[in-house]
Amino acid sequence: MAHAIPYYDNSIKEYPMKKRVLFLCTANSCRSQMAEGIINHFLGDRIEAFSAGTMATYVNPRAIAVMKEIGIDISGHRSKEMSEFKGQTFDYVITLCDSAHETCPYFFGGVEITHIGFSDPANISGSEDEVMAGFRSVRDEIKEKLLAFLE
């Protein structure tokens, strides 16, 4: 009886453990929520993304809408305070706004905290079309910069 020779398919990429990344912003309502959704969507096979804020508020409906436009559903996300992640380990902690960078959490010891800043789309004023265009622009910038950084 012949023994089967194991077949190795090198087209399948295997990642032994997913890296963990935490995105921090002030209110955890727009930028960090979009970053979490984008990274879990595009790099979820090897990175597990989370988001939090220096305070918890709500997930901005416009952020949900512009993410849905690119096929990513963040409607089930909730806003979280960074203290919710105290004691957990991350490979990357990335601040997305100046305020979060300045009040950077001290409890993520041993992890280099990186700042990749984006303007706050919640501060955009104008017509609804102008505001949504601003959200789309920030979303696209987050996608481009964070995918390049983490890939």
Per annotation, catalytic residue among 82, 97, 100, 122: 97
Per annotation, catalytic residue among 21, 22, 24, 25: 25
From the CB of residue 34, how many other CB atoms can be counted at a distance below 10 Å?
A: 34
The question of whether 97 is a catalytic residue gets the answer yes
Check: CB of residue 135 under 8 Å from CB of residue 124: yes
- CA dist 132 and 4 (Å) reads 58
Check: CB of residue 112 under 8 Å from CB of residue 95: no
Assigned token pair, 29: 């309502």
The question of whether 25 is a catalytic residue gets the answer yes
Sequence-distant (≥ 6) Cβ neighbours of residue 5 within 8 angstroms: none
- β-sheet with 19-25: strand ranges across: 47-53, 19-25, 92-95, 113-115
Per annotation, catalytic residue among 70, 104, 113, 132: 104
Catalytic residues, by residue number, are 25, 97, 104
